A and B are shown apart, each in its own frame.
Chain A
Amino acid sequence: MLLSTPTLAQPLSEESGQIGFYGFNDEIPEVLTTTRLRQPKTRVPGTTTVIDGAMIRDLGIMSLAEIFRLVPGMVVGDVGSGTPVTTYHGTVHYEQRRMQVLVDGRTAHRATLSDMDWQTMPVPLELIERIEVSRGPNSAAYGINAFLGTINIITRNPADTAGTEIRVVGGSRDYHRTFASVGDVSDSYDWRLAFEKRKFGGFDYQLDDDEEPIPFNSGHDINVFNYDSRLKVNSGFNADIRLGVVDGINEEDFFKDGELGATDNPDIDVRDYYLQTQLNFTTSRTHFFHVQVNFENFNRRQRWPIEVPESVVNCLIIGADVFDEANNCFQAGGTPLTANVNSDSEDSRLEFEFQDTLLFSDELKLVTGLGYRKDTFRSETFFNGRGTSYQSRVFGNLEYTPIDWLTLNGGGNWERTTTTDEGYFSPRFAANFTLGNNHALRFVYSKAVRTPDSFEQNPEYGYTLRDIAPAQYALLEGYRVESPLDTRAGTLEEENIISREISYFGQFPLDQGQFSLEVRVFKDKMRDMISGIIGFQDWTIDNNVDIDQKGFEVEAALDYPGTTFRVSYGYLDQDDWYNGPEISNNETTNYKEKKYKVALLGRLSARHSGSIVLIQNLPFGLKGSTAFYWADQLKESRFERLDLRLAKSFLQPRYTAEFAVTVQHYMNTDPDVSIDNNIEDQNQLFLEAGIRF
């Protein structure tokens, strides 16, 4: 039986009667969130990387997205105005829409633009308990966005952060981060209030058309407030209540993001908030369920001034397409028009989830659930008003261990979305052959879909001119300049992936240490991938690329007393081709355009990527760490960085203090991902001081 306790050689003293077994009620952390069942790595149907919060802090990682350099097969880069992006197995660039990202079970990506904004995530690094990355399609458990995998960020339970913590970090490129949290525990209520300020200057410079360095407005100044609490009503029921506010400025450079001839930087004013409650019921040791309801609001104000020549005004007045070169709308001279435009948007997401876990025995476990999501989007620019989309789904996973060396998992998710008005089923099957508790060989087959988001599917893209000057153009006040969208091929369909995985996980107890190894070999078929440009002047997305990919990934860790050595490596071989309609009658143009669209999905596909980490306890309360990250990406560019950190702890009876210095050494001077991502000094220095009491 699952919950049988060890056979005891003798009767227990009177204390045993008063102590319940706390291992398996709803409060224990999920060891793996891959299937939503709590499973050891030997039984989980897929490969999952777990990055511990302590490792993140020991390595001196300075931002959330950087963490994913530790995950085999994942790459991290900056696009646009220093906007961090990360992906598993490429295929995305500006918009990161093929991985499901959850924070404490709450969907974290923006609902309608289906994008991740890592800079404004309400997750201070100090509050990360761990991050679980399920590598490979995971729609069977988390729905249609979990196309390439899932990222599950689990923050620290408020019961674990009782007391006060303050940490200040400052360093190169005006990096500044202040974190403070205060909290308490009691028999009935645990709570934590946390604040984080993150400020960063971004890249040092970009290049103008003559490849001369000019300032690059690519930093951010974000404030995050979180309140996390748990109300413990009785042993069978508790409620998690969380709320958070994100406020600040995300800098955008007008060379990168200002449409219609911006004359100033179109910085984004961020005003997000969320409310989340999860009611956890534990009816017995073998049955528990939760109901989760959360509401998130992403409010972005992005406004900038423009100046266009008089010729454009004339085109607008006669209703000509200003971007059609044939209309010759951009000519110098005359009285220019100035106005303000915006890319304001407000997305709201209401999410409901019910999840039920039944542990029939140690050999048979079942998790089932229902989900419902309503996304509301309001944007004059992107949607010319407001709209809604709905998703509803049913999911489940059965784990069955018929004999002690074999565990079978079967799971699936059926989901219906109004963006395509269709329903989709994403299954996963796996057989894990286990040897003892320490070794497992897994065979996994999974299918997943990704449906286009509301903006991809139903854009009504246009900028409204306001505050027009001079007065002679007053009749254009409130005029909406529409995107031509003339190359749109019609309604988009879902993308599909079929993934096959063979993986091995093993733990080898050693004299004085432990070695663990996880190897994943995969072969994926991705069909009808949406590629093309999403832009005001150029809108060419369509289901037009197929990709076959294969490769292998390794994650190994060696733990010795006071020493942790960890290696991750990913090899990716993508074979991709165009399968959409012909683009041009000109054969050369046709070829180039097809090649371009295929290449768009390969911009963050790194053939080799990985990390090497060493964390070492040193005498005198010192702890040293070194990490080397590398990735071959963007075809020619290569990212290589060596991080060194030295920390000194003072363990006092009433408090623990820590001081640390971190150096990031960029191994080469070439900018990463974009020629504009320039850092003047190859060595970046950061100092931090923290206290906990």
Chain B
Amino acid sequence: MTGGTALGARAVRRLPLWLLLGLLGVLVILPIGMLLYASVLEVEPGPGSFGGGLTLENYRELLTPATYLALWNSLVVAVGGTVVALVLGLSLAWLAARTDVPARWLVQLAGIVPLFVSSMVGALAWSLLASPRQGYLNLILRDLGIPFTINVYTIGGLVFVFGIYYAPYVFLLTYSGLTLINPELEEAARVHCASDRRVATQVTFPLVSPALLGATLLTFALIIENFPVPALLGTPSGLETLPSLIYRLMNLAPPDANGAAALGTFLLVTLMLVVFAQRRMLGRREYTTVTGKGFRPRQIRLGRLRWPAVAFCVTYVVTAIVLPFGALLELSLRENVYVGGAADLFDVSAFGLEGFQVVLGDISFRIGLYNSLVAGLLAAILGGALHFVMALVVHRSKLRGRNLIAYLGMMPVAIPAIVLGLGFLWTWYLLPVPLYGTLLILVLAYVARFTPQSFGSISNSFRQIRSDLEESALVSGAGRSRTSLEITVPLIRSSIVSAMLLLLIFSIRELSAVIFLFTSDTRVLSVVIFDFWESGVFDRAAAVSVLYSVVLAAIALFSRRWLGVRDLSGR
């Protein structure tokens, strides 16, 4: 009898775990399972395709020069883009966090502003700036008599665009690491006569190395799976990466769904190997550097390097923000899309607001805006709740199987968005729940896709808060739930808010995960822009991009203080 009750109590205690595993199963495992299944099927998965013939032919057909070329392009672009993003992002983060660089707000802006410029918008803008013949920059160069053409439709162009638009991720991931280092560790080294350089290389960087490795991993993963940039910048010169090749296969008539699945599996395995290697390198070291004690990190004086540092930041902001938005505005405002020469670019008489009026009245823009906001908010609320509970179970319970949750939660890092989208498509074709064609399927895709970022950020704050604070409460006689509510939640509240805001922003920015999931009723803004681009209405794509970025900027501005970029004096 007592045994039965104990068993029952144990089952109840373990219920949250089973619920979480079930949810993650549907969000992560099932889509991957469907992808693998589709890759060995003879026909596209769908009702009636079960029990169909299995084959390895799809993989054999992958062994073509087109695949090798796309793989090679993918690797080159991802490595190059990651390096550029790391250099830019880390420099900015270090300047903002640890130096007396003037105009600190500008540096922080440089780090966060590109959050609202999606890589798609960046690519669109740079194709206007640097298309070989009529790119605005090239028009100016030509009129100045400079015999040099910037061509963004090249590997170098892709690397450049990836680098500038993924640098903010590196910035965000390393900035807090740099500000949160316990200065006692650095002071200790200094007391022992270590030089600034030695402190930096032997103390500071090892301390931020988890953040840095994490940033490298994330950036590489994000770039190699990125679809919009190669789609926009690679297409004109026939330059394909794995994601754009997958998209092309799916857009054949009829689609080569099984080929796309096999290729998706290949991309998935590649990414998983990378992630696995990174995890091995990181090991299981513990990095508890934030405790109940207050401190303030020491600032490094830049001296004569102060102004070059500012110039560096200004250049970054101009390249990532000012020029692209100038180009988008130029095209949105022009009544005639044709620009004869550099002088025409500045001829204000050719400008008008008609383009924006048309877009604001356009039903696809309105539906897109509405859908983006609704889906983004739903993803933030559902995702925030799910990821908090996951983090709570993983870090504050002793339930067996909690590590599996942590593992599943981090898994989507290794799942390319476009591949996740394919998996979702087939999963919900088959499941008897009529979710395909609704906004909810987009929301689920967002939640699954951004679990690592959101769950990871909440987890980090659990990890950084030593359990000594909670243990003190427990020792002082508070119950578990009271401890959670009064100690844990207030301590990590800002990280939950921050995770939800990240979910909101990332969801609204996302294109790849939903490119196979939307229908005309459930188009979101990113899809509307992509559609306008694909059907060749660039001026409208540009106008919507501007409005889209304004929406994202408003959210980013509102959430600035939660997103890890804080004014140092406020700490």
A binds B: no
Q: Identify the B interface with A (CB < 8 A).
A: none
Q: Identify the A interface with B (CB < 8 A).
A: none
